[in-house]
Chain A
Amino acid sequence: MGAAIPFQHQQSAHCESGVVAGLLRGQGFPLSEAMVFGLGAAIAFAYLGIVKINEMPLISYRMPPRFILRRLRKLLHLPLRVEKFRSPDEGERRLDELVARGTLVGVQSSVFFLPYIPVNMRFHFNAHNLLVYGREGDEYLISDPVFEAPTRSSVPDLTQARFARGVLAPKGLLYYVDGPIVATDVARLIPGALKSACRVMLQPLLPFIGVRGIRLLARKVHKVTRNAPLPFAQRYVGHVVRMQEEIGTGGGGFRFLYGAFLQEAGTLLGNTSLQSLALDMVATGDLWRDFAYDAARMSKGRLALDGALLASQLNNIAEREASLFRAVRAVSRG
Chain B
Amino acid sequence: MRVEDVPQEGNATLDGQRKGMYAVGKDGRIALVPSRGWEAEELVTTAAVEHFETLAQEALQRVRTGAAGALEYFMYARRLDPPTLAQASGVWRWRLKRHLRQPFASIPEPLQQRYAAVLGIPRAQLLEFRAEKTDA
A interface vs B, CB < 8 Å?
A: 11-13, 33-34, 52, 54-55, 112-113, 118-124, 146-148, 160, 164-167, 235, 238-239, 241-242, 245-246, 250, 252-253, 256-257, 259-260, 263, 278-279, 282, 285-286, 289, 292-293, 295-297, 299-300
Contact = CB atoms under 8 A, between A and B. Distances in A.
Given A12-B20, A166-B88, A120 B44 contact: no
A71 to B, nearest CB: 20
Interface residues of B, number: 42
Contact of A238 (B14, B30, B44, B80): B44
9 contacts: A13-B20, A55-B81, A119-B15, A124-B79, A238-B47, A241-B44, A246-B45, A256-B21, A256-B23
Interface stretch (B35-43, B64-72, B125-133): B35-43
B19 A146 contact: yes
Contacts of B111: none
B84 interface: yes
B89 A289 contact: no
Q: Which 9 A/B pairs are nearest by Cβ-Cβ distance?
A: A118-B15, A296-B40, A256-B22, A166-B88, A120-B13, A260-B30, A245-B41, A165-B88, A296-B43
Given A148-B17, A289-B1, A293-B40, A112 B29 contact: no
A148 B34 contact: yes
Q: Which of B13, B30, B48 has the most CB of A within 10 A?
A: B30
Interface in B62-98: 79-81, 83-84, 87-90
